[in-house]
Amino acid sequence: MLFEGLTSAHVADACLRAGVPVRTASLTAVVGGRVAGRVLPAQHVGSVDVFLEAFESAEDGDVLVVDNGGRRDEACVGDLVALEAKAAGLAGIVIWGLHRDTVDITAIGLPVFSLGAMPTGPLRLDPQPDDALSTATIGDWTVSRDDVVLGDEDGVVFVPADSVDEVTGLAVSIRDTEHRQAGEIRAGRSLREQVRFAEYLTARATDPSLTFRQHLRAVRGAIEE
C-alpha cells in the first residue's frame, strides 16, 4: 500500500531531505482519517459534470483532487459525488474548497478531506478551462496525474510519482528514528542527550553559522527532517 505505516509529516520531512518540493496543504478529514493514491485532478467551475468526466478515466485507487480555488462561499462536493467516486473505485476525495451533506458522506465512508462544510452549493456556472481535467491547484501547488497524494490528520502532502520510492525509503528511516527517540525519552533519556545538544551549543559558540539542522544530520537525528 502507498506510504503504508507513514504519516504525512514523515513524508513531508522525507521530501525535504530528498530535495523534493514540500507541497502540503492544511485540510481536515471529513471521514476516513487517511487517504493515499494517484492524483485525479478536476477543476470545479460550478457543475458536477467535471467530476463525472474525471471518473470516466479513473483507475482503482485514484484520489479525486478538486480545485475550487479555496472558495468559502459554496460547497462543491456532496454525497452523490462521494458515492459515485466510491462506485468508480476511487480511494478518496481531496477538496481545495468546501463540501456539504456531511452526514451522508460520513455514512458512505469514502475518505474525504476539505476546508470545511457549507450547506450552499454553487450558484454559478463558469467556463471550463482546457486543463480542467489535467491539473488542479491546491493552495500554492499545482498537481497532476504525475503526482500522488497522502492525507491524514495533519493535512495532505503531494509527491511526484517518480519520487515515491526514494521518499518512502527516507520517510521510513525518519519514522524509525523518531520512534526510537520517543522510546528513549519515555525510558528516561532526554532528547537533548540523544541529539547531543550540549555539543551543538558548544560548536555553535565557535561557529555561529552552524545550524541545528546541520548538527542533527551529523548525529543522525531526525526531529526536523
Q: Which amino acid, residue 199?
A: E
Q: Which three cell numbers stand for residue 184?
A: 528513549
Measured distance CA(108)–CA(7) in Å, rounded: 24
Answer yes or no: is 79 a known binding residue: yes
CA atoms 99, 104, 106, 110: torsion sign: negative
- CA-based nearest residue to 220, from 182, 194, 200, 201: 194
Residue-wise over 140-157: b if at least 16 C-beta within 10 A, else e? ebebbbebbbbbbebbbb
- CB-based contacts of 17: which residues, under 8 Å, 6+ apart? 170, 174, 225
Measured distance CA(189)–CA(174) in Å, rounded: 19
Measured distance CA(5)–CA(160) in Å, rounded: 19
Work out whether strand 28-31 and strand 63-67 pair parallel, antiparallel, or are unpaired: unpaired
Measured distance CA(157)–CA(50) in Å, rounded: 23
Answer yes or no: is 78 a known binding residue: yes
Answer yes or no: is 80 a known binding residue: yes
Answer yes or no: is 154 a known binding residue: no
| Binding-site residue ranges for Mg(2+) | 101
Which residues carry a binding-site annotation?
A: 78-81, 100-101
Residue numbers in the known binding site for substrate are 78-81, 100
